Amino acid sequence: MKIKPSRVLLYVAAIIIGIYSIAPIYSLVITSLMDVRDIVAGHIYPYNPNINAYLRILGYDVQGPYGFLRAYGGSKQLIQGLINISIIAPIVMIITLIASVPAGYALGRFKIGRLRTILIILLLGTRSLPPVSIALPYFFLFTQLGLRSTLQGMIIIHLTITIPIITWVLMGFFAALPQDLEKAARIDGCSRLGALTKVVLPLATPGIAASAMIAFLFSWNDFFYSWLISQGTSAATYNAQLSGFFNFQNEPAMFAAAVTLQIILAAIIASALQKYIAQLKIVDPGTVVVE
């Protein structure tokens, strides 16, 4: 059987895309598995691989191949940061869903004409603010409100960003869902919200799962606000603590290990739920006729 040239092209493209996606991550991971001496020599595969860097950032002294290595002095804060973000991110995800699912449904499904555009612009407009513009005022505001060293403070900040975006995404998603079951339910006398819960939600699971993931990852990965607002406080997130490595003398392995640790959980969630993003059915809500 003759191999079609378009097939070959496809495989070549696939391989290029795969390598391109993974190369920088590979470079980061192998850095985390080597000792400083080997890293600065520039190896492209892990030379004398070991997990010393991971043990050190978790607070253990180790005997490395070139000498005794102390535990990372900030490991206690790093672990606290990991715990903090593990609390903040799921809460942000849950509250975002509770707020955005009904809102996105209303915007995507209801026949409300121009109101839809106005509302979504109002909601998204604030999201367009570059963080830098309001960073320092946020700092002072949160200090005055006593929110700067609290988890609630970080949750609130993240919510002001995730809710508009997820509402917007879900708006398009709900607009594209088939309407028959819903219409049937309404004919049977269901209220709008009743129809939502009984009929639409089960259908909408992929979209909701994808939105949950987007919201979670946004909170998990947030650097700027975490760094500015929570740094140095007991509510400091993992990212805020990571910045301490940024100028740490000559410890690229621990830096890479700390970054990799954060990526691992995010990557697990992303790969488990990626198929749901593909089911979001991004379709122009303006072209969907609502009956």
Partner 1 sequence: MERDKISRRKALSTASKVAIGAVAAGAIAGLAGYSAGSSAAQPARTETITRTETLGGATVRETVTRTVTAGTQPVTGPPLQFVHWHYRDDIVTSYVKKFMDYYGEKVDEVLLANENYGPLMEAKFQAGDVIDMHYANFFMVSRWISLGWDRDVEAFREIDQIKAEMYPSIVEAYSTAEGKLAGLPYFWSARSAPVVNDDILEKAGMGGERPGTWDELWEMSRRIKASGAATYPVMPHWFNAFYGIVWDFEAELGNAYNDPDLTKTFIAKDFSPVFDVNTEVAELLKTWQDVTKEGLVDPAVFGQAGDSDHVSAIVTGNYAFTPTALYYFKVQNDPSQSRIPLGKANLVPVTKQGWGVIDTGLYCWPKKVTDEERSQRLIKFFGWRTPEGERLTATSWAITDALGSGYMDTLRLAKVKAAFREWLGDRAEVTLKIFDDIALTMSRPWVYKSPMYLEWANFAFPVMSAIASGTQSVSDGVKTLRTKLDELYKKYHAK
Partner 2 sequence: MPRVTDKQLALFLIVPLILFVATINIYPIGYSLWLSFNKINLVDGVTNYVGLANYLKISGDPFLSNSFFVSARFVLESTALIIVISLITALVLAQSFRGQPILKVIVILPWALSEFAVAIAGRFFLDRNYGFLNAFLKNIGVVKEGINFLDATFAVEWLAIFFAWNVAPLGAYFILSAIQTIPEDLHKQARIDGASPIMRFRNVTFPFIRYAVLITGVLACILSTSSVVISFALTGGGPGMASTPVTLYNFRVFFYNQDYGYGAAISWLTLVAVLFLTIAYFRLLTRRR
| Residues between 222 and 251 with contacts to partner 1, criterion CB under 8 A | 227, 231-233, 241, 243-251
Nearer to partner 1, 119 or 135 (CB): 135
Q: Which does 138 bind (CB under 5 to 8 A by kind): partner 1, partner 2, none?
A: partner 2
Rounded Cα distance, 158 and 266, in Å: 17
Rounded Cα distance, 200 and 195, in Å: 6
Sole window of 13-21, 101-109, 123-131, 205-213 interacting with partner 1 (rule: CB under 8 A): 205-213
Give least dist CB 80 to partner 2, A: 18
Q: What angle do CA 67, 72, 75 make, to 5 degrees?
A: 155
Asked whether the beta carbons of 59 and 44 are under 8 A apart, the reply is: no
Asked whether the beta carbons of 101 and 200 are under 8 A apart, the reply is: no
Give least dist CB 5 to partner 1, A: 36
Kindly state the number of chain residues that form the binding site for partner 1, as judged by CB under 8 A: 57
Q: Residue 149 half-sphere exposure, CB side, CA atoms within 13 Å?
A: 3
42 near partner 2, rule: CB under 8 A: yes
Asked whether the beta carbons of 197 and 239 are under 8 A apart, the reply is: no
Rounded Cα distance, 152 and 92, in Å: 10
Rounded Cα distance, 57 and 267, in Å: 20
Asked whether the beta carbons of 92 and 158 are under 8 A apart, the reply is: yes
Nearer to partner 2, 25 or 68 (CB): 25
Sole window of 48-56, 68-76, 86-94, 274-282 interacting with partner 2 (rule: CB under 8 A): 274-282
91 near partner 2, rule: CB under 8 A: no
Among 40, 115, 124, 283, binds partner 1 (CB under 8 A): 40
Give least dist CB 30 to partner 1, A: 16
Sole window of 4-12, 85-93, 104-112, 161-169 interacting with partner 1 (rule: CB under 8 A): 85-93
Q: What angle do CA 19, 23, 25 make, to 5 degrees?
A: 130
Task: Name the H helices within the chain.
Answer: 5-32, 36-39, 52-57, 75-109, 114-125, 131-144, 151-176, 180-187, 192-195, 201-221, 224-225, 238-242, 252-277
102 near partner 2, rule: CB under 8 A: yes
Among 179, 221, 231, 233, binds partner 2 (CB under 8 A): 221
- Interface with partner 1 (CB under 8 A): 35-37, 39-41, 64, 66-74, 76-77, 80, 83, 86-87, 89-90, 94, 136, 139-140, 143, 148, 202-203, 205-206, 209, 212, 216, 227, 231-233, 241, 243-252, 255, 269, 272-273, 276
